Structure 1
Amino acid sequence: MAKRSKPQTEIPENPSTSSKIPFRPQKILKLTTTTTKLTIFPKTLSPLTSQSEITLALNHLRSSDLQLSGLIDSYTPPSFDSDRPPFQSLARSILYQQLATKAAQSIYTRFVTLCGGESLILPETLLSLTAQNLRKIGVSGRKASYLHDLAEKFTDGTLSDSAILEMDDESLLTMLTVVKGIGAWSVHMFMIFSLKRPDVLPVGDLGVRKGVKMLYGLKGLPKPLEMEELCEKWRPYRSVGSWYMWRYMEAKGVL
C-alpha cells in the first residue's frame, strides 16, 4: 500500500474472513462481449471470500477482456479478506485518509490502544473520547469530528453493522456518504476490501484510472462515464478488474 490520499489509492491491508453477506441466488442471463455464448451469473453474487469465487471471476475476465487476461497471468490471484466488522473498518478508513501508510499505521495503533483494543472500537467508545483525547494521538480535529459523526450515526440507528451487510451497493453509497468525511471513493474501497463485493468499479480512483488508460492505450485519463463504458466487459467482477489495475500500476512504479 502506498500513500493514502484521496483520490489516490492505498490498497487496504489484506483482510481475512468477516461475516458473510446473506444472498438469495437468483439467475439472470449475461452475454459476454467476446463470444455469443450465454453465461449464467447469479443475480446477486457471493462475496469474494473463497478461491472458487475468485476462480470464477478470473475465468470470466480472461474470456471477456484479452488485454486484462495478460495481466491476470502475470500476477498471483487477488485476495479480499477482512476480519473487521463494518464500524471498525469505516473508522479505520477515516483515520487513514490523506496520510502516508507509516503515519496512518502509527496513528491507528495508538487509536486502538486508546480504545482499549480493536474489539472495543465501538460507537459508544468513540463517543466517550473527546476531540482533545484524539488530538493527543495525532488525529486532526476534523477527523475527530468525522469519527464522532460516524459513531452518532450508528448510535441513533441511521446505520448498523447488520444493516450495512444487507444493503445493496446503491443503498450503501447513499447511506454511507451521509457520514461526514466519507465520500464515494471511501465507500468504493469499503465495499471492495471490507465487504468483498465483486462488482464495484471505483471510477474516481486515480490508480484504477491510470491502469485503464495504460491498458487500453488511451491518450488521457478516462472520465467516470468512459470508465463505465470501457470496464463494462468486466461486469459482474469489476472489483477484481480494478484490483489488477492497482497491481499493474504498482509494477510500473506509478503507485
Structure 2
Amino acid sequence: MTSITTAEAHLRGADPVLGAIIDQVVQATGGPLTTAPDVEDPDLPNDHYGVLVRAIVSQNISTIASRAIYQRLHERFGGRPPSPEEILATDPDELRLSAGLSHAKTVSLRSLAEHVLAGELELDRLHLLPDEEVTAQLSAVKGIGTWTAHIYLIFHLNRPDVLASGDLEIRRAVEREYALPSIPRPADVERIAEPWRPYRTLACLYLWRWWENLAVR
C-alpha cells in the first residue's frame, strides 16, 4: 500500500493549489493527515451497516450537523446505533422527530434496513468488489446515491482513489481556493481533481479538514 508521504508528495506536485491547502492543514494540525477526519468522533461506527446509517444521516449537511443528529439517533436507542430490526419497528414519524431527520432520510434508513434483512444487500461481500460495483449495489437502496457510496468507500473500505465530487463541503472548498465564480458542479470538481489520481481520497480528506478548520475559525 502506498504510504501517505508518497501520496501527499504526488498531490503537492500535481496541484499547487491543493499543495497550499495541505500546508495550511499541516500547520493547523501539527502534522500531515494519516487518518480520516472523523477518526476521533466517538460515535463513528466501524461495522458495515452502521457506517451506512451514519452516511445517510450525513447527506447534504455539514459535518457538525451530522454529528449532532447522529448523536440524537444514538440516544434514541440507548447510546448505540439502531439495528435494522429496530429501525423498522420504530414509527417513522417518531424516528424522524426524535433524531431531527428529514422525511427522505427516514425513508432511506428504512429502505436500507429492508434490503439488509431481505438479503438483497450483502454488506459482508462489498469489500471484495471494485469501486464501481460497490456504488451500483448501494445505489439500489432508496435514497442512497453516489455521495453516500463515496463516503462508504472512503471511510469504511479505505479505497485510495475516491473523489466525493458531490460533497457540499468539498465543492465549497474548491470554489473558494480555486477562485471560482460560483459553487462548482460535481463534473467541474472531477475535472479539477483529475491530476490528483490515484490519490483522490487523501485529497478529499485534506479538503474536508481544511473546510472544518475554516468553519471553526
TM norm structure 1: 0.66
Count of equivalent residues: 204
Preserved CA contact (<8 Å) 2:45 2:51: no
Alpha carbons of structure 1 residues 121 and 167: separation in structure 2 relative to 1, 3 Å: farther
In structure 2, C-alpha distance between the alignment counterparts of 1:113 and 1:254, rounded to whole Å:
26
In the alignment, structure 1 residue 199 sits paired with structure 2 residue 161: yes
Preserved CA contact (<8 Å) 2:60 2:168: no
Shift in Å at residue 153 of structure 1? 0.7
In structure 1, C-alpha distance between the alignment counterparts of 2:190 and 2:65, rounded to whole Å:
34
Cα distance per residue 1:22-59 (max 9 Å; x no partner): xxxxxxxxxxxxxxxxxxxxxxxx5xxxxx73223112
Shift in Å at residue 103 of structure 1? 6.1
In the alignment, structure 1 residue 72 sits paired with structure 2 residue 22: yes
Alpha carbons of structure 1 residues 110 and 254: separation in structure 2 relative to 1, 3 Å: closer
Shift in Å at residue 183 of structure 1? 2.1
In structure 1, C-alpha distance between the alignment counterparts of 2:174 and 2:143, rounded to whole Å:
27
- Per the alignment, residue 85 of structure 2 pairs with 124
Q: Which has the higher helix share?
A: 2
Secondary structure of residue in 2 paired with 1:63: helix
- Per the alignment, residue 190 of structure 1 pairs with 152
- Per the alignment, residue 55 of structure 2 pairs with 93
One-letter amino acid of the counterpart of residue 235, structure 1: R
In structure 1, C-alpha distance between the alignment counterparts of 2:169 and 2:79, rounded to whole Å:
33
Alpha carbons of structure 1 residues 127 and 231: separation in structure 2 relative to 1, 3 Å: same
Alpha carbons of structure 1 residues 109 and 243: separation in structure 2 relative to 1, 3 Å: closer
In structure 2, C-alpha distance between the alignment counterparts of 1:89 and 1:220, rounded to whole Å:
32
Equivalent pairs: percent with the same residue?
Answer: 36
In structure 2, C-alpha distance between the alignment counterparts of 1:189 and 1:219, rounded to whole Å:
27
Preserved CA contact (<8 Å) 1:198 1:240: yes
> Which 10-residue stretch deviates more, 101-110 or 205-214?
101-110
1:90-239 mapped onto 2 (5 Å cutoff) = 90-97=52-59, 104-118=66-80, 121-135=82-96, 137-138=98-99, 139-239=101-201
Secondary structure of residue in 2 paired with 1:144: helix
Preserved CA contact (<8 Å) 2:160 2:199: yes
- Per the alignment, residue 240 of structure 1 pairs with 202
Alpha carbons of structure 1 residues 254 and 116: separation in structure 2 relative to 1, 3 Å: closer
Secondary structure of residue in 2 paired with 1:159: coil
In structure 2, C-alpha distance between the alignment counterparts of 1:97 and 1:217, rounded to whole Å:
25
Shift in Å at residue 242 of structure 1? 2.1
Structure 1 gaps, min length 5: 1-45, 47-51
Secondary structure of residue in 1 paired with 2:3: helix
Structure 2 gaps, min length 5: 27-31
Shift in Å at residue 142 of structure 1? 4.1
In structure 1, C-alpha distance between the alignment counterparts of 2:19 and 2:143, rounded to whole Å:
36
TM norm structure 2: 0.75
In structure 2, C-alpha distance between the alignment counterparts of 1:148 and 1:198, rounded to whole Å:
30
Preserved CA contact (<8 Å) 2:53 2:109: yes
Match for residue 5 of structure 2 among 30, 42, 55: 55
One-letter amino acid of the counterpart of residue 13, structure 2: S
Shift in Å at residue 148 of structure 1? 1.5
Preserved CA contact (<8 Å) 1:89 1:194: yes
Preserved CA contact (<8 Å) 1:172 1:187: yes
Shift in Å at residue 145 of structure 1? 2.5
In structure 2, C-alpha distance between the alignment counterparts of 1:110 and 1:251, rounded to whole Å:
24
